[in-house]
Chain A
Amino acid sequence: MTGKIRKATRHVNQNEGLIFEKSSPGKAAWKLPPLDVPEVDAGNLLGASERKDLGHMPEVSEIEIIRHFTRLSTWNYAIDLGMYPLGSCTMKYNPRVNEVVARLEGIANGHPYQPERASQGALRIMKTLSECLIEITGMDAITLQPAAGAHGELTGLLMVRAHHESRNSPRKKILIPDSAHGTNPATAAMVGYAVENLKSNSRGMVEVSALEAQMNEDVAALMLTNPNTLGVFEQEIHKIADILHAKGGLLYMDGANMNALVGKVRPGDFGVDLMHLNLHKTFSTPHGGGGPGSGPVAIRKFLEPFLPRPVLTTKSDGTLGFDYDRAQSVGRVRSFYGNFGMFVRALAYIMANGPDGLRQTTEDAVLNANYIRKGLEGTYDLPYSTPSMHEVIFSDRVQAKRGVKTMDVAKRLIDYGFHPYTTAFPLIVPGALMIEPTESESKEEMDLFIEAMKSIAEEAENDLQTVLSAPHSTRVSRLDETAAARKPVLRWKPEGS
């Protein structure tokens, strides 16, 4: 793009191009120290394996990089800007102290293979976090290895499979309620299980009689989210567990909604055999635009032999170390020990809260969801009247009669300064609006949100086009997703190539 004169036709911040379009030979943002060993001839050392050219990798200066990414950042919405009521995603405040402690020298630069006696700090962090999570879930043991929630599910089901195989009772099926996250069936399929759907009843819960009818010796486990994706606590959880256990099946809990339970009730106390946690949801590690996550799996004692290798142990001299000698282990599920940086953040969060703070956090999350439910009841259709825990699900039934769908309301919400709620999930609610405020919202912020939602409902009656063509305040308007999928352009190419 060099040599071409560009005019500022819009605010420069709104018109930032791709980094490649700023590149020109000779610009640089790097400087290496002088080499303190003899120079080498790469051709001599590498022969035919020597690379000569790095194609169109950019050449830009430091200030350009800072401006480029700072400008891009302003096109994002973020929790730091305002309410992010994405149901199921738990977009709570990400405390800054978490980031500070994760960057301490010995923690950020710790090498996973450094000798155990020079790793006691990292191992102590893992041990302390493990103990906290075991206590919070009421389970007996834990692995921190899985890299995110879906990976936790995979690890969990591998352990379920190993358990059944060890009892010479390989099973073929996993039961999954129709309200479940898509990851549950996808995970079951990856582990080689057939997926059997379980229909929810009119209260949005597992129908115990249906479960009883579908349960047999071929069922390896039920994957249950509790509270489920309708934000409803499965009140007959003990009956569900009993039905499974009677026929040798296991109860797997998807812990995506654990933030509704922490400090109030423990899955280990209501019959769960194993579960994963999402540290990036319940325990405040940042979502970072889509990751990294961390998905520890907590288990009951009888599953301990199958934990992924290596397992953290306390040695006879009181120091911490890893046990690799685990004959029945499902093996490694990740290189090294998991997303350690996320363990640090989650533990810092638990410490900042303490037992009283964790309980208050859960109570506030449930309080907030019910406040929003109350505020919008009557304006938006409430398909299930069952009490809400940490999130509330409305439908667009009323607005759809005017041609306004959940996605239209969501896009219009952007103009009011809020991130949209989760649209069109769970699948059992046609046109769902899934709202999870989390504990991080003040009453004032929620009042603004309720006002905005009511105002959009009015617009749906009186000012239809404004809603249907929203958002109006963003850098780009609605994007053509069809064109993107029909002829995918997944990378930049220089002009003329």
Chain B
Amino acid sequence: MAYPADLKYTKEHEWIKPDGGTASIGITHYAQESLGDIVFVDMPKVGTELTAGKTFGSIESVKAVSDLYAPASGTVTEVNGDLATAPERINKDAHGSWLVKLKLKDPAELGSLLSAADYEKFVAEEGGP
């Protein structure tokens, strides 16, 4: 699996795609594959303040549930409503299915996140696909 170079990654298997002062957040291909068929995403409301490294929701498959960790701090400006009725989109295209959009508090925070190459290496070490 090629991890897109324009995204930044976390060790909790989230990706973040910066776009000026805002960014969209999702889970990685590796994460969706380990979860299996995703059935539900519990997401924050617009206006919620996220703190980098803290949980902001959860994502469920039939027999597993994973917390979602914010890759960066900021305020939720948009929530992907399509996922409420069609969470399987994440399985089909994890890097194209954003969960929430953020207004970043400090874009510099992204500097400490993993690049695509680093993340790929990290996943390989974890014994991933």
- Cβ-Cβ contact count across A and B, 8 Å cutoff: 15
Give the complex CA separation of A225 and B17 in angstroms. Answer: 46
- Tell me which residues across on chain A come within 8 A of B37, comparing CB atoms: 482
Contact of A481 among B60, B62, B87, B88 (CB under 8 A): B62
Q: Is A491 an interface residue (CB 8 A)?
A: no
Q: Is A6 an interface residue (CB 8 A)?
A: no
Q: Is A493 an interface residue (CB 8 A)?
A: no
Give the complex CA separation of A482 and B88 in angstroms. Answer: 10
Give the complex CA separation of A64 and B39 in angstroms. Answer: 37
Question: How far in angstroms is the closest Cβ of chain A from B92?
Answer: 13
What 1/0 flags go to B39-76 for Cβ under 8 Å of A?
11000000000000000000011110000000000000
Question: How far in angstroms is the closest Cβ of chain A from B128?
Answer: 15
Q: Is A31 an interface residue (CB 8 A)?
A: no
**Interface residues of chain A: helix, strand, loop or mixed (majority):** helix
- Tell me which residues across on chain A come within 8 A of B61, comparing CB atoms: 482
Interface size on A, residues (CB 8 A): 5
Give the complex CA separation of A330 and B62 in angstroms. Answer: 37
Residue of A nearest to B37 (CB): A482
Q: Is A167 an interface residue (CB 8 A)?
A: no
Within 8 A of B (CB), among A458-495: 481-482, 485-486
- Tell me which residues across on chain B come within 8 A of A424, comparing CB atoms: 63
Give the complex CA separation of A485 and B87 in angstroms. Answer: 11
Question: How far in angstroms is the closest Cβ of chain A from B38?
Answer: 8
Question: How far in angstroms is the closest Cβ of chain B from A296?
Answer: 31
Of listed A424, A481, A482, residue having the most chain B CB within 10 A: A482
- Tell me which residues across on chain B come within 8 A of A485, comparing CB atoms: 39-40, 60, 62
Question: How far in angstroms is the closest Cβ of chain A from B9?
Answer: 25
Residue of A nearest to B86 (CB): A486
Give the complex CA separation of A486 and B60 in angstroms. Answer: 10
Give the complex CA separation of A485 and B39 in angstroms. Answer: 6
Question: How far in angstroms is the closest Cβ of chain B from A135?
Answer: 41
Residue of A nearest to B60 (CB): A485
Question: How far in angstroms is the closest Cβ of chain B from A83?
Answer: 25
Instruction: Give residues in A with beta carbon < 8 Å to B.
Output: 424, 481-482, 485-486
Instruction: Give residues in B with beta carbon < 8 Å to A.
Output: 37, 39-40, 60-63, 87-88
**Pairs of residues from A and B, 8 with the lowest C-beta to C-beta distance, nearest first:** A485-B39, A482-B37, A481-B62, A486-B39, A485-B62, A482-B62, A482-B39, A486-B87
Give 15 A-B contacts (CB < 8 Å), ordered by A residue.
Answer: A424-B63, A481-B62, A481-B63, A482-B37, A482-B39, A482-B61, A482-B62, A485-B39, A485-B40, A485-B60, A485-B62, A486-B39, A486-B40, A486-B87, A486-B88
